[in-house]
Structure 1
Amino acid sequence: MNEIIVLTTTDSIELAHKIASALVEKREAACVNIIPEIRSVYRWEGKICDEKEFLLVIKSTVQRLEAVKDRVRSLHTYQTPEVISIPVSGGDPAYLSWLHASVE
């Protein structure tokens, strides 16, 4: 199978909604969950940052990954947005069928 979960974070709920809506509207993702107010601790430009962010959990396929990455980068405000793809295993067949139909 070729289903994936793509993760990215944003610094605002508005941007999270904008990216999620665009991905689903353009059929680049079947569904996007927005998890509000996570904390991210990371190193950026030599200093440790601790920021409130919003996590997007994007359900898509390997075939749509480049489109997802391009869309996220084109809408994102971060210089280097996180875009990480994780393969799906053991998914419910009916759900995975719906996922594929939603991105075709």
Structure 2
Amino acid sequence: MSDYCIALCTCPDRDTAEQIARTVVSEKLAACVNILPGITSVYAWQGEICCDNEVQLIFKTRHRDADKLFNRVLMLHPYDVPEWLLLDVADGGADYLKWIASSLS
């Protein structure tokens, strides 16, 4: 496992996504957050099949900051159970990884 990871989280709308992104970047919990609009999520929830328009957040962070990031997202997020998936970054551009580290300290 590397020092770096990507976290995924969906939001109900762009305003919520931007609020979360701006907060976690300003608090140095994520170096960068990409906001991808216009996704459609199909999922089972409380015995029903749901289909909703959502916004995808992609957080760039370090594994050691991921728990703090997740707890902060939970405080800001309107969903009872927000998506939270961590993907290990196997490798990356050395300068980009240094930039992530410097952005989080």
Same fold (TM over 0.5): yes
Match of 2:16 in 1: 15
Instruction: Classify the secondary structure of the residue corresponding to 2:55.
Output: strand
Over the aligned positions, Cα root-mean-square deviation in angstroms equals: 0.6
Identity over aligned residues, as a percent?
A: 37
Query: Could you tell me which amino acid in structure 1 is paired with residue 18 of structure 2?
Result: H
Count of aligned residue pairs for this structure pair: 104
Match of 2:39 in 1: 38
Match of 1:81 in 2: 82
Question: What is the TM-score of this pair, normalised by structure 2?
Answer: 0.97
Moved over 3 A (4+): none
Q: Displacement of 1:89 after TM fit?
A: 1.4
Instruction: Classify the secondary structure of the residue corresponding to 1:51.
Output: strand
Structure 1: segments with no counterpart, 5+ residues: none
Query: Could you tell me which amino acid in structure 2 is paired with residue 12 of structure 1?
Result: D
* Distance (Å, rounded) in 2 between the aligned partners of 1:56 and 1:46: 26
Instruction: Classify the secondary structure of the residue corresponding to 1:91.
Output: coil
Match of 1:54 in 2: 55
Question: What is the TM-score of this pair, normalised by structure 1?
Answer: 0.98
Once the two structures are superposed, the pairs formed by residues 56-71 of structure 1 within 5 Å of their partners are: 56-71=57-72
Instruction: Classify the secondary structure of the residue corresponding to 2:7.
Output: strand
Match of 1:25 in 2: 26
